[in-house]
Amino acid sequence: MLLRVEDIHTYYGFSYVLQGISLEVDQGEAVALLGRNGVGKTTTLKSIIGVAPPRAGQIFFEGSNIVGLAPYQIVR
């Protein structure tokens, strides 16, 4: 498993913007996030790369938990 996102919850201030998002991406897969404006596509990606870290849930990249790492550490 290349990327595993488990039940993440992300806030902007007091606004609860992601509620229980989970997904898995295997090596070699191509994935598209689709949806209407304002449903959390960009925030999901920001949570994965650490720009808008989730307050709950786990994100694993190549088996390592990356929640709490700085964005520059994640993108290396």
Q: Mind listing the pLDDT tens digit for each residue in 2-61?
A: 999 999 999 999 999 999 999 999 999 999 999 999 999 999 999 999 999 999 999 999
Distance CA 50, CA 41 (A): 14
DSSP letter assigned to residue 35: -
Q: What is the mean predicted confidence (pLDDT) over 56-75?
A: 96
Distance CA 24, CA 11 (A): 22
3-state SS assignment for residue 60? strand
Position 3 scores a pLDDT of 98
* pLDDT at 76 > cutoff 90: no
Q: What is the mean predicted confidence (pLDDT) over 67-72?
A: 95
Residue boundaries of the structural domains of the chain = 3-74
Tell me if the domain spanning 3-74 has CATH number 3.40.50.300: yes
